[in-house]
Structure 1
C-alpha cells in the first residue's frame, strides 16, 4: 500500500542577521573601505578551488521535497537585482567520524561522499525569505532547499567549491511529505 505525501505549509521568516544566525549569515551592504569584521561573510573555502559564478534558475516554485547540505564548504547565495526569493533551511547536523559511536539514539548516516550526518527532522525545517541588496552565507553543513521564487526565472550568484556538488553533498528526501511556503500579512509570496 502506497502512502500519500502530506504537504506541510511553512510561514516564511524574514532573513535578518539575527533570525538566520543558527544557519549562517545575512550579509548586507557596508561602506567601502571598512575593515574586515564580524558582519562580513566568514568563509571556509579551504578544501578545494573556490567557484564564483552566476546561475540561471528556472521554474523553482515555492515547494520542495528534498533538502541538501555541503559538508566541506560554506556557500554564499544572492539574487542578482535583489529580488525576493526563498530558501528551505535546517541546522547543520554533521557528525565527526570519531564521534559516530557516541551519537546514541540518533540515526547517523554516511553520505556517498564519506562524511557522516544526522538527517534533519521534518519539524526542524524552516523557510526564509531573502529580499533586497543582501546575500546569505550558509554555514558548513547547513541543510537547504532552493533558491525558490515566484518568477519564471531568476539569476543568482553562487560562491562554493568547484566540486561542491560532487565531493561534499548529501541529499535527504522527505518520505513524509513536501513543504510549501504560505503567505502571511507581512510579506506576500
Structure 2
C-alpha cells in the first residue's frame, strides 16, 4: 500500500473511431436501413443474458482512483441527450494462452494477478491510463477487458444507456485501485 498519494492530471482526448480504436469503438448515427458493417458496434453478449438499461448517475466529478474491466462481455455506454462526459481507460490486459508468461509469473516484466472471476490479468500501469471526452449522438463500445473509470461528468447528474450482461457487475467486475496499489489518483483537466 502506498504511503503518499500523488495526483496525476490527464488532458482528455476527443473520442473518435481512430483515437479510441485500442479500447473499442465509437459508434455514431447512421442512415435508417443501412446494412450492418464495421462501423456498427461489434458486440459479444454470448456468455449470458443481455441487459440494456438506463443508469441514473449523480455526483461523478472528474477524478478517479479505481478502474474496472469486464472479461466476459463487450459493454456499450452513451449519454442520453448527448451531453459531454468522460471515461478513463487503459488497454485490455487479460492474460491469454498466446501470452508469454515468464518463470517468475510475469508478462512483459509485470506481475500477473488472478481475478476472482476466473481469469488472469496484468494490472494497468499509471502511464497506461488515458481519458476520453465524449459528446453528441454517439456511444462507446468497450472491448473485452478494456479498463474503464466512469462515466464522469461536470453536471450534478446524468443518465446513460448501458448494454452489458444481466450479471456483469456481480460476476465479472475486476477492479484495480490506483490509490492503494500505486499511490495515485487521476484528475481530468481541460
- What TM-score do you get using the length of structure 1 for normalisation? 0.93
**2:149 matched to which residue of 1?**
145
Instruction: List runs of 5+ in structure 1 lacking aligned partners.
Output: 184-189
Q: Is the 8 A contact 1:100 1:108 kept in 2?
A: no
CA distance in 1, matches of 2:100, 2:119: 10
The alpha carbon displacement at 1:105 in A equals 2.6
1:169 and 2:173 are equivalent in the alignment: yes
The alpha carbon displacement at 1:137 in A equals 0.2
Count how many residue pairs are aligned between Structure 1 and Structure 2: 183
CA distance in 2, matches of 1:15, 1:104: 28
**1:187 matched to which residue of 2?**
none
CA distance in 1, matches of 2:27, 2:120: 29
Instruction: Name the SS of the counterpart of 2:111 in structure 1.
Output: coil
The alpha carbon displacement at 1:125 in A equals 0.1
Instruction: Name the SS of the counterpart of 2:127 in structure 1.
Output: helix
- More divergent stretch after superposition (107-116 vs 70-79): 107-116
Q: Is the 8 A contact 1:13 1:129 kept in 2?
A: yes
CA distance in 2, matches of 1:122, 1:130: 22
The alpha carbon displacement at 1:176 in A equals 1.9
**2:118 matched to which residue of 1?**
114
- What are the Cα deviations for residues 82-116 of structure 1, in whole angstroms up to 9, with x where unaligned? 00000000000001268574536321100111111
Which segments of structure 1 move beyond 4 Å, counting only runs of 4 or more?
Answer: 97-100
CA-based RMSD of the aligned residues comes to 1.6
Instruction: Name the SS of the counterpart of 1:77 in structure 2.
Output: strand
1:131 and 2:138 are equivalent in the alignment: no
1:44 and 2:51 are equivalent in the alignment: no
- What TM-score do you get using the length of structure 2 for normalisation? 0.92
CA distance in 1, matches of 2:69, 2:97: 17
Q: Is the 8 A contact 1:100 1:116 kept in 2?
A: no
CA distance in 1, matches of 2:69, 2:175: 7
